[in-house]
Amino acid sequence: MSNTTTSEVDLVGDETTLNIARAALFAALMGAFAYVSFPFPVSPVPVTLQVLGVFLAGLFVGPVWGAAAMVLYLLAGALGAPVFSGGSAGIGVLLGPTGGYLLSYPIAAFAVGAVAHGGFELRSLSEASVVRLVAGMALGTVAIYAIGVGFLWWNTDTTVRTAIVTGALVFVPAEAAKMAAAIGIVRSDAIRAE
C-alpha cells in the first residue's frame, strides 16, 4: 500500500458531510420501517411506515437530499441490504411486481420536498402553509401510485383493471391516514431537524 500525503486527501465539506450522514441514516431508517406494519381497520393490507418515510424525507431533508436518501435506500437494497418489505433484498425485488413503488420513491420524495419548500432549497417548515404540505404529499402519492401501478401492469402482463384494483384502490384509505400523520408531525414541531 502506498503512502498518502495531505495534498492527495480531498476532504468533504462540513455541510455536505452532515447531508450525506442524514441521507444515509434516513435510508437506513426506511429499511428499519420495512419491518414495522400496523393492521389498518379499513384496509385489507397491513400498513407500513415506508410511504410516511418518503414524505418526511422530502419535508425534513429537502428535495435534493431526500431523493438522494431514497436512491441510497434502493441501491443498498439492490446490493443485498435486507431493506425491502419483510427483510427481502436484491434486484429481484426491484424487478418484481411491487418494484415500481420502490423505484418511484426518489421521484416522490423530490416532488414532496420541492412543492413543500417551494424550490430546491431547504427552508424552515414552519413557514410552509398546510396547503403547500398537502399539495406536496398529494403529488408524491400520485407519483408513487402512477409509477407503481404502471409497473405492476407492465411487469405482470395483466389488465389495467386488475392492476388498479390490486395495486392502488386497496391502499387509498391508508395513504390519507399517513398524510394526516405527516402534517401532524410537521405542525407539532416534534422533530428536531434544523
Partner 1 sequence: MLSYEPGGSVAHRLDPRSKLLVQCGFAAAAFAYTTPRGLSALTGLALCLLAAARTAPHRALWEFRFVFPFLLAVPLLDGLALTRGVWFVAADAVPAALASYRVVLVALVAAAYVRTTPVRDSRAAVQWAVPGRTGQFLGMGVAFVFRFLPVLRADVGRIRDGYRARLGTERPVSERIRTLAVASFNRAFDRADRFALALRARCFCWNPTLPDLGFSRLDAPGIALGALLFAVAAYAVV
Chain positions 173 to 192 lying near partner 1, rule: CB under 8 A, are: 177-178, 180-181, 184-185, 188, 190-192
For residues 181 and 185, what is the distance between their CA atoms, to the nearest angstrom?
A: 6
When binding is defined by CB under 8 A, the residue of 82, 128, 135, 146 that contacts partner 1 is 82
Residues 84, 31: Cα–Cα separation, whole Å: 6
Residue pointed to by grid coordinates 422533530: 191
Shortest spacing between CB 127 and partner 1, in angstroms: 20
Contacting partner 1 within 125-184 (CB under 8 A):
152, 155-159, 162-163, 165-166, 177-178, 180-181, 184
Give the amino acid at 7: S
The answer to whether 75 touches 52, Cβ cutoff 8 Å, is no
DSSP bridge partners of 37 = 48
The residue among 91 and 172 lying less far from partner 1, judged by its C-beta, is 91
CB of 147 to partner 1, least distance (A): 16
CB of 143 to partner 1, least distance (A): 20
Under the binding rule (CB under 8 A), the answer on residue 92 touching partner 1 is: yes
Pairing of strands 37-38, 47-48: antiparallel
- Residue from 96, 132, 146, 150 touching partner 1 (CB under 8 A): that is 96
Supply 138's cell numbers. Answer: 398529494
* HEC letters along 92-110: HHHCCCCHHHHHHHHHHHH
Kindly determine how many residues on this chain lie close enough to bind partner 1 according to the rule CB under 8 A.
81
Backbone φ and ψ for 129, nearest 5 degrees, come out as -80, 160
Residue choice 64, 72, 109, 137 for contact with partner 1 (CB under 8 A): 72
What cell does 24 get? 444515509
Three-class SS state of 37: strand
- Binding segment for partner 1 (CB under 8 A), chosen from 70-78, 103-111, 127-135, 139-147, is 70-78
User: Is residue 48 helix, strand or coil?
Assistant: strand
The span of 66-74, 103-111, 118-126, 138-146 binding partner 1 (CB under 8 A) equals 66-74
Site string for partner 1, 20-59 (x = CB under 8 A): xxxxxxxxxx-xxx-xx-xxxx-----x-x--xx--x---
